[in-house]
Amino acid sequence: MTESLKLIAGNWKMNGVGESLEEAAALRVALDAEAANCRVALCPPATLIDRMAQTLGGSAIEIGGQDCHGAASGAYTGSVSAEMVADAGANLVILGHSERRAGFGETDANVAAKAEAALAAGLEPIICVGETLAQREAGEAVSVVSQQVMGSLPVSLADKPFAVAYEPVWAIGTGLTPTLEQIEEVHAAVRAAMIARLGAGGAKPVILYGGSVKPSNAKEILAVPEVGGALVGGASLKAEDFLGIIRAV
């Protein structure tokens, strides 16, 4: 089986206005000059997808949304559908980020519905899972994450492009990271759950690690078995930092 290309995806979260596109433009200039050894994506706030698509048009850098609604259209004030995300210029979408699970009450079933909607719109979902600190300390990391994979991945993903991101909640934005052994253990469990859920269709999609990835720790994390890339928050906001991670692949 040929190995999938690693994916380094930047999650800008609710950061960035028009002038932030200068960072996307700087990333483009750098990656036009030195081709990346992996897939690279930026996931800006929904309001910037369209302008980012113009800034990056013709480059190899892909664009993702940070969420979409599970319904195709309707009376959902403030929400954005998968088709809208795709129409604005994205080809990927982050779903089930822990900030949405915790802050907006998203359940595994919601995430699975969003993944179905994303597929229908031609978007490649990046489905996030991860345990809280209390769950890690209770020895429940593997079981919690495995259950999230089983519940958040619709069976229709089986032959479609998608990725799973393992993001321990306690590692996001904290500067803390699990040990390499802990990352390996959970990634192996995520792979097993993907195969249990999707059969052979769960064997190939990449599993990203996310949580305080930075240029100084990217190389060792990306070398862990089953780590197929990174979902990067804070260190994706500056082109120079993000490039440091891309160069670590």
Q: Per CB under 6 A, does 178 bind ligand PEP?
A: no
Residue closer to ligand PEP (CB basis): 52 or 94: 94
Close Cβ partners of 44 (under 8 Å, ≥ 6 residues apart): 12, 16, 20, 24, 52, 63, 66
Residue closer to ligand PEP (CB basis): 210 or 228: 210
Nearest Cα to Cα of residue 232 among 86, 223, 241 = 241
Close Cβ partners of 237 (under 8 Å, ≥ 6 residues apart): 10, 12, 15, 16, 20, 23
Q: Which of 43, 115, 126, 232 binds ligand PEP (CB under 6 A)?
A: 232
Tell me the closest approach of the beta carbon of residue 32 to ligand PEP, in angstroms: 25
Tell me the closest approach of the beta carbon of residue 230 to ligand PEP, in angstroms: 8
Nearest Cα to Cα of residue 80 among 65, 94, 95, 68 = 68
Q: What binding mask, one character per residue, do residues 5-34 give for ligand PEP by CB under 6 A, x or -? A: ------x-----------------------
Q: What binding mask, one character per residue, do residues 115-154 give for ligand PEP by CB under 6 A, x or -? A: ----------------------------------------
Q: Per CB under 6 A, does 172 bind ligand PEP?
A: yes
Radius of gyration of the chain (CA): 17
Q: Other C-beta atoms within 10 Å of 225: how many? A: 10
Identify the three-state secondary structure at position 172: coil
On whether 234 is known to bind a ligand per the annotation, the reply is yes
Tell me the closest approach of the beta carbon of residue 159 to ligand PEP, in angstroms: 27
Going by the DSSP 8-state scheme, the letter that residue 104 receives in this structure is: S
Tell me the closest approach of the beta carbon of residue 213 to ligand PEP, in angstroms: 5
Residues making up the chain, counted from first to last: 249
Q: How many whole angstroms separate alpha carbon 73 and alpha carbon 64?
A: 19
On whether 202 is known to bind a ligand per the annotation, the reply is no
- Chain residues binding ligand PEP by CB under 6 A are 11, 167, 172-173, 210-213, 231-235
Which residue ranges are tagged as binding site for substrate? Answer: 11-13, 173, 212, 233-234
